[in-house]
Amino acid sequence: MKRVAVMTSGGDSPGMNAAIRAVVRTGLEYDIEVFGVRQGYAGLLNGDFHKLTSFEVSGILQRGGTILQTARNLEFKTPAGQAKGLRRLNEHGIEGVIVIGGDGSLRGALALHKLGIPVIGVPASIDNDLDGTNTSIGVDTALNTIVESLDRVRDTASSHTRAFIIEVMGRNCGYLALISSILGGAEIVSVPEREVSMEGIHDALVDAYMRGKSHAVAVIAEGVSYKTTELVDYLSQRGDVGFEVRLTILGHIQRGGSPSAFDRLLATRMGVKALESLREGQSGMMVALNDRDMATVPIEQALARIRPINPNYFDLARILSR
């Protein structure tokens, strides 16, 4: 194998650059040219490829976002779009592809693999929803950002005797919300996997007030069935929470920032493993952290279900919020 392409796709996550750098530097080790595809599948369809040099990936290890940029693209979801993508790869003499991204991006990677070109996926999404790996690139950094935000909110909440509703990202997966609620000392958490009703949130906040707490924090995952704005309206209509209630939606702040040491190491190891796996002739596989080791698992397995949350964390959250 002499020529591979690498792209980042879907929602960006901190550590994507470290993974790109690792792919390019591993290419140098094995005398394989690495071409960067700009803006994910949109760039693939437009033939937006350029050769990545070692110089071009210098100084990016610590940068959030992705130097290749990312995009969402509807055309690539169609069989005609996928065939066009394969044609573009052939035009550039590309013999293998590395797709760095979340579940949607890996569905695209699987489609390319099924068309016959070797493809390896690299799990990168703050949501931690990909199965088959202990974790994905960006999760640790996002968690650190959320926990720091919760600490800040608690400072102001206790100064004013207020309750805060904090909305945390995670499209279908409550991992970030649940773990940050434990690490940020929240009173209650509601996630798609174990949703707490608006009434349940109300009762937890009232309970904290009655116990004389100076503040209360409810962490709500964006994927629950009610909107956090509805929740705040509901609480103010009840009128008996005790605390004044405020809402903070953390939003895309959670996706940015310099990757943590953990994410830099994970992304570096995954980038190296991805190129080595392509070189060994693997395809349709996703690199994964399995216990302490790098492994590969079928992309189909990684996508078969949303990565389940360890149920013990729900017990921890309950016990520690007393």
Smallest separation, CB 259 to ligand ADP (Å): 17
Reference 13, options 111, 153, 135; nearest CA is: 135
SS3 for 239? coil
**How many residues are there in the chain?**
322
73 binds, options ligand ADP, ligand F6P, none, Cβ within 5 to 8 A by partner type: ligand ADP
Nearer CB in complex with ligand ADP: 169/205:
169
Smallest separation, CB 61 to ligand ADP (Å): 22
Figure out which of the listed residues 111, 272, 278, 306 binds ligand ADP, where binding follows CB under 6 A.
Answer: 111
Figure out which of the listed residues 101, 118, 121, 223 binds ligand ADP, where binding follows CB under 6 A.
Answer: 101
Find the residue with minimal CB distance to ligand ADP: 104
Nearer CB in complex with ligand ADP: 8/190:
8
| Angstrom distance (rounded) from CA 238 to CA 206 | 11
Figure out which of the listed residues 14, 64, 96, 104 binds ligand ADP, where binding follows CB under 6 A.
Answer: 104
Note whether 40 and 16 are within 8 A (CB): no
| Angstrom distance (rounded) from CA 157 to CA 216 | 7
101 binds, options ligand F6P, ligand ADP, none, Cβ within 5 to 8 A by partner type: ligand ADP
The active-site residue out of 103, 127, 129, 263 is 127
| Angstrom distance (rounded) from CA 8 to CA 141 | 18
Instruction: Give 79: exposed, middle or buried? Use CB within 10 Å, 0-12, 13-18, 19+.
Output: exposed
Q: Does 243 bind ligand ADP (CB under 6 A)?
A: no
Q: Does 84 bind ligand ADP (CB under 6 A)?
A: no
Q: Is 127 a catalytic residue?
A: yes
| Angstrom distance (rounded) from CA 198 to CA 209 | 17
Instruction: Give 237: exposed, middle or buried? Use CB within 10 Å, 0-12, 13-18, 19+.
Output: exposed
| Angstrom distance (rounded) from CA 34 to CA 280 | 16
Direct distance between the N- and C-terminal alpha carbons of the chain, in angstroms, rounded to an integer: 58
Interface ranges with ligand F6P (CB under 6 A): 11, 102, 125-127, 169-171, 222, 255
Figure out which of the listed residues 17, 125, 144, 228 binds ligand ADP, where binding follows CB under 6 A.
Answer: 125
Q: Identify the DSSP state of 321.
A: T
| Angstrom distance (rounded) from CA 23 to CA 62 | 16
277 binds, options ligand ADP, ligand F6P, none, Cβ within 5 to 8 A by partner type: none
Smallest separation, CB 157 to ligand F6P (Å): 24
Nearer CB in complex with ligand F6P: 187/222:
222
Catalytic residue annotation: 127
Q: Name the residues that contact ligand ADP, by CB under 6 A.
A: 9-11, 41, 72-73, 76-77, 101-105, 107-108, 111, 125
